[in-house]
Amino acid sequence: MATEAELILNAEARRDYRELAAKLRKRKEHRKTLRKKIADAGRPILAEVRTAVQELRVTGRSGGGAKQRRLHNVARARTERAAQAAARRHAGLRRTVASATNLKVTAKGVKFVVDENRLPANQRGLPRALDLRKGWDHPVFGRADIPKAHQKGGPWFASTIAKHEQAFRHAIVEAMDEIKRDIEE
């Protein structure tokens, strides 16, 4: 399941959004315009969410897990070209989570989502853990003497979106009203 934050409109605006979505099923151009306006309003928030996760201070033991994995993969490469590719391949947890974070505009609503399918299989639960102050435990690569390491993240997802909630909600309602006026003309 993806980490997501859905923007909840008030009951009247939500009903209007769904009614408008139903009317727009046959009017592709208006539907496209509405989605574009909502996406345009959400883009700065999405950029801020991505920046927040990349700037998140994750605490734990020093040693650089990503660095160690990268060095290990480079050392295992059989050719120089493969070693160079292995050195570039792994972007790190925060950058990977940032690139998997998106804004989805559908007929049902608007969501900010971390698409866990775009993360490596062993990191799919980490976006939620990164958003928690209590953190998470994980095995330590190449260190049998340390059974688990503990790392702490901090709020970056829902808290960043919440800062812009009122303005974004207002932009959505404005876009809906503009499309309604166009349809009625």
pLDDT one-digit tens code per residue, 157-170: 999 999 999 999 99
Q: Which residue has the tokens 């939500």?
A: 14
pLDDT of residue 44 exceeding 90, the answer is: yes
CA distance 131 to 49: 11
Confidence of residue 51 (pLDDT cuts 50, 70, 90): very high
Q: Are 30 and 184 in contact (CB under 8 A)?
A: no
pLDDT of residue 83 exceeding 80, the answer is: no
Q: Are 123 and 153 in contact (CB under 8 A)?
A: no
Region of residue 65 (left: phi > 0; alpha: psi -120 to 50; beta: else) = alpha
CA distance 111 to 42: 10
For the four alpha carbons of 110, 112, 115 and 118, in that order, the dihedral sign comes to positive
φ and ψ at 7, to 5 degrees? -80, 120
CB atoms within 10 A of CB 88: 9
* pTM listed for this prediction: 0.73
Q: What is the pLDDT of residue 16?
A: 81
CA distance 53 to 25: 36
SS3 45: helix
The two tokens of residue 115 are: 């698409």
CA 78 to chain centre: 35
